[in-house]
Every structure is written in C-alpha cells, then in structure tokens.
Chain A
Amino acid sequence: MSKAVVAPARKYKRKSRFKEIWRRMKKNKLSMVGLCVFALFVAMIIFADLIVPYRIALEQNVWEQFAPPSVEHLLGMDQYGRDIFARVIHGSRNSLLMGIAAVFVGMIIGGTLASLAGYYGGKVDMVIMRISDTIFCIPFMLMGLSIVAALGPGLINVLIAITITAIPNYVRIIRSAILTIVGNDFIEAGRACGASDIFIILKHVAPNAVGPIIVQATMQVGTMIIFSTAFSYLGLGIQPPAPEWGAMLAEGKSYMLSAPHMIIAPGMSIVLVALSLNLLGDGLRDALDPKLKD
C-alpha cells in the first residue's frame, strides 16, 4: 500500500492591515515629518518635568524681565521674568491635551450618535440629524463662546464648550462613513446569522468605517488646539499663572514691540503642532484610500 502523499500545507501569510498602511505611509516623506514632529510634542508632554521642572515655569525673576533669548534662557523671559522655554514646554500639556481630549470625547459621543443614526435610519436618524444640523448652523466660535459665557471661564469649561460644539461635525462625518458600510451584504449576512445590533456595529461596521474617521480626527486635533488657544487668548480659558500657549500670546501682546520673543515661541508651537497633524492626516488619507492601493 502506497503511502498517501500529503502535500505540505502552503502557508498563506496574511499581511496585516496596519503593516500595509504603514508601508504606504512611509513613502510619503512629508507625512513622516509630520509624524516625527508630533511624536516630539507628545514626548514633550510626557517628559515635561524631566526637561524643565514645573516650578521654573512659574518662578519670577525680577532682574531678568523681558530678557531676550540667551544660552541660559533659550527662548528668553517674559514680563515677570519667567522662563519662556519652560512655559512653552509645560504649556504644551494644557494646549495639546485640550485638543486631544476634545477630539477624543467628541468622537466617542459623536460616533455613538452617528452609529445610531446611520445604522437604524428612519426616525432616529431624522431626530439626531435635525438637532445636529441646527447646531451646525451656529458658527463654531459663536456657539463655543455662548457655552463658555454660560459656564464661566476655565480650562474644563472651554473643553466642554469646544467638544459640544464640534460634535455635530463628527456626527456628519462618521454617519456618512457608516452609511457607505451599512448597505453592504455582509451586514445583512451578520443580521441573518442572528448577531445583535451592538455586535454588528462594533465588530463589522466600526472597523470598516474607521479609516476616514481617523484621518478627520488627526486633522481635528490641530483645529481644536487652535480653537482652545483662541479661548485662552481671549482670557476665557485657563487662568493665570498656569502656562498655556494662547494665554502666553495674550500676555505678550502688550509688549510685542520691545519683546517680540514673547509671542513668537508660543505661536510657533501652535503652528508646528497643527501643521504636523495636518501633514500626518494628509498622509493617512492617502495611505488609507483603497483606490490608491498599488
């Protein structure tokens, strides 16, 4: 009896989606620059205390008021003789985390509402979209200012204001991403198998809709940072003496002719973060776009 020859099972190597996206991302040099710059800022948030102790950001040095940038004080001193480098580093915690938190919370709430609207359709969809369209009709800054006016100035209140104001935008984006998925056969198949709605939304709809949402989220963090610093600039955000980029700009405004370094450093930080996130988002969009797959 001859031995049955068993062909060795061919190994199918499944390329992970993440690796594929990463490979395509790497080709886009500008978005890699964006990623590196953003990573630097994230490292700055995490290691702020190791770079410069927080007390230096608050310490007043009467003898060195308005001192221009030097070797001891890389970015110079402000009107109270506080080290601007230390204030920019520690200000990143307030400014950057505000942007990230606003988008994160907004995306979760907006995502939940959008999934309900997109998945169930009908009346649920109509009610959610009508409300969000109405809020959308009120200019962003105006809506945010109204909420801050009601809640009072403060970092958390600004966070609440910009999060609520941005939600309708997220609902729109995520809903349209979900609508392209919901009509597919595999969703119908999932239903036929008796999967629960929550299971289908989380397991089948969300992973497929996640691409455009990540792109939007990345770019929105930059926008939200600009908005939150605008509130601080107007004196409605964080209260002194805590360091924050927008608040630093407001303080430096009165002295900008004699001490321009006071407004250049915090402003450039905002530009750099927002620009890096925009570049990253652009690269992600190209990498996630299945039409551009090679």
Chain B
Amino acid sequence: MSRYILKRILICIPTLVAITFIIFTIMSYTPGDVTRMILGQEATPEAMKELAHQMGLDKPFFVRYANYMVHLLQGDMGVSYRSGQSVFLEIIHRFPITLKLAFGSMCIAIAVGLLLGILAAVKQYSILDFFGTALAMLLASVPYFWLGLMMILLFSLKLGLLPSMGSNTWVHFILPSITVCVGSTAAILRLTRTTMLETIRQDYIRTARAKGQTEGKIIFKHALKNALLPVITVIGIEFGSLLGGAVVVESVFSLNGVGSLLLQAIRLKDTPQVTGCAVFLAFFFMMIMLAVDILYAYIDPRIKARYQNS
C-alpha cells in the first residue's frame, strides 16, 4: 500500500514541474516593460537597466525559470510589483476564503449530486428520474455567475434572507457555495445515475435480491459501493472546476479570496502575483487529485490486491 502511495507522490513531481513551466512560460510572454511599470514613465534607460539586472530579468529564460523554481521550493514566489509584498504571504492570507468556498460547494455538489443520482437510477423512468435528469441538464446550462447574481437579487435584495457580500460567518458562504457548485452537481448527478444504472443490472445484485436481502442494503451496500468508484474520480476532477469557478464567483460576491487576488493582479499586470496565484491553485488541485488517488486505493480492493501480491 505504501508503495502505491509513494508511486503516486513521485508521479506528482514531474507534473508539478511541467505545470509551473507552462504557467511560467505563458506569463513570461506578458507584453509591457516591467521596469517601466515599477519606475514610472519618467525613468531613465540606465535606471531601468539597473533594475532589470537586479531583478534578474536580463538573464536567459531557462535561468529565470530555474531561479523561480529554486525560490518556489523555499516557499518564495517573489514580490508583487504593485504592493511590494511577498506574493506567497498574500496568497496564504487570502486562501482560507477560497478553501471554505471550494469545500462548501463540494459538499453541496456531492450531497445533492449523489442523492439525486442514486434516486434517479433506482426509480428509473419515474417522476424522480425525470426531475433529476432535467435538473442536471438545466444546471449544466446555467452560467454560474449569472445564477449568483439572480440569487443575490432574490435572497439578499428582495427577501433580505442571506448576505450578498462579506466572509465573516458561514452564512456568508451559503449563496457563493451554491453558485459555484452548479456545474459539478450536474456532472456528479449524471455520472452517479449512469454508473448506478449499470451496477444494479449486474448479476451480483440479482443474487443479493434472490437471497432476500433488503432493498436498502442492496442499494447502499452492494450497488453504491461499486458504482462510487468512477464517481470519486470525477469528484476529484470537478474540484478543479470548482477552484476555477471560485475565481469568478469571488468577484460576484466580493469575497477577498485567491481568485479575486488573481483577477486584480491580471488587471494590474502584476506578473509575479498572477504566476503565484495560478501556480498555487494548480498545486492545490494536484494535491486534491493525489488525495483522491490515495483514497481510491483504500476503496478499490483491486488496487490493494495488486500491491500486496507484488
């Protein structure tokens, strides 16, 4: 088992290097002279050259990338051009908000998606099934930022039930979390329904029924356990889209998370900040995927068996 986990962690390393390389390469093509941006329009060419030398901008691309990686491994993502503060500290400071938002919406997506998916499959062709599939179709078609606006309009401005901005209590996260989770809920619901439908047609389910097992035990103990495997992978992947969605939704609900930091940095052309945020979120997503892979090994006895034999 530990060999499997070690293998997964080792696979992560080249992927992480590749991800940082891709983001660093894209960002290094940002047009505009950084030194002029820092020193202002009146800067002399000599001063600009001096600053470029100090910042290491006159070095070749690969040297700059290597420098970045060395600093990154020490938790140093550079200094923001605009605020002059450490990029890493600023991200860490804002990360809890994004994390709460992502986890909150993940919980809703899993709860609603799994439950409705199971119900739709168990009661195939019933009104529940129709409702479930229709809901999944609708949720997949709604632009989440628009849904967020409409919910602010209804629940905050018209009814005054829930706050539309701020992040002090968990109540502040209700609307943003529902907004972010729509796409993932649809994906989880559809996949759960399909895999459940396949599973309950298997022979071992028929055997369980023939043995006189209760319906609840058949669904939750025999069918769900097997149907869940592909769903877990998709939950991991969906976490990425939740993180991406959080970037947009943070701006809808004026939340000060990593997403709004990233957007602000993009508008101000603050390259180290943009690179830092992107690398940080991608890194976090990788860690989630790694966790899902490890969880998978615990749930799927086939993986366990393979590593115990060898």
Q: Which residue numbers of A lie inside 8 Å of B, CB to CB? A: 133-135, 137-142, 145-152, 222, 226, 229-230, 233-236, 246, 249, 252-253, 256-257, 260, 263-264, 267, 270-271, 274-275, 277-279, 282
Contacts and interface: CB of A to CB of B under 8 A. Distances in A.
Interface of B: 15, 18-19, 22-23, 26-27, 29-31, 137-138, 140-146, 149-150, 152-153, 157, 240-241, 243-245, 247-248, 251-252, 262-263, 265-267, 269, 271, 274-275, 278, 281-282, 285-286, 289
Contact of B137 (A226, A249, A267, A279): A279
Contacts of B15: 133-134, 137
Tell me if A's interface is mostly helix, strand, loop or mixed: helix
Nearest to A130: B18
A270 B146 contact: yes
B141 A271 contact: yes
Contacts of B289: 137
Contact of A267 (B30, B138, B150, B269): B150
A257 B157 contact: yes
Contacts of A146: 23, 26-27, 274-275, 278
Nearest 3 interchain pairs by C-beta:
A141-B244, A274-B141, A139-B240
A138 B22 contact: yes
Given A141-B244, A146-B278, A271 B142 contact: yes
B281 A234 contact: no
A45 to B, nearest CB: 19
Contacts of B281: 139, 142
Given A137-B282, A138-B282, A150-B30, A145 B247 contact: yes
A231 B275 CA distance: 18
Contacts of B27: 146, 149-150
Given A137-B286, A271-B143, A282 B137 contact: yes
A145 B141 contact: no
7 contacts: A134-B22, A149-B274, A233-B248, A246-B143, A249-B149, A252-B149, A274-B142
B247 A270 contact: no
B31 A256 contact: no
B215 to A, nearest CB: 28
Contacts of B247: 141-142, 145
A95 to B, nearest CB: 10
B19 A142 contact: no
A260 B153 contact: yes
A226 B145 CA distance: 9
A18 to B, nearest CB: 26
A229 B263 CA distance: 16
B270 to A, nearest CB: 9
A256 B154 CA distance: 10
A151 B27 CA distance: 9
A150 B141 contact: no
Contact of A249 (B22, B145, B244, B286): B145
A253 B282 CA distance: 30
Contacts of A145: 247, 262-263, 266, 274, 278
A275 B137 contact: yes
A147 B152 CA distance: 30
Given A139-B240, A139-B282, A140-B244, A274 B143 contact: yes
Contact of B141 (A252, A260, A275): A275
Nearest to A219: B140
A253 B157 contact: no
Nearest to B285: A139
A134 B282 CA distance: 11
A146 to B, nearest CB: 5
B142 A138 contact: no
Contacts of B26: 146-147, 149-150
Contact of A141 (B23, B245, B265): B245
Nearest to A267: B146
Nearest to A135: B22
B143 A226 contact: yes
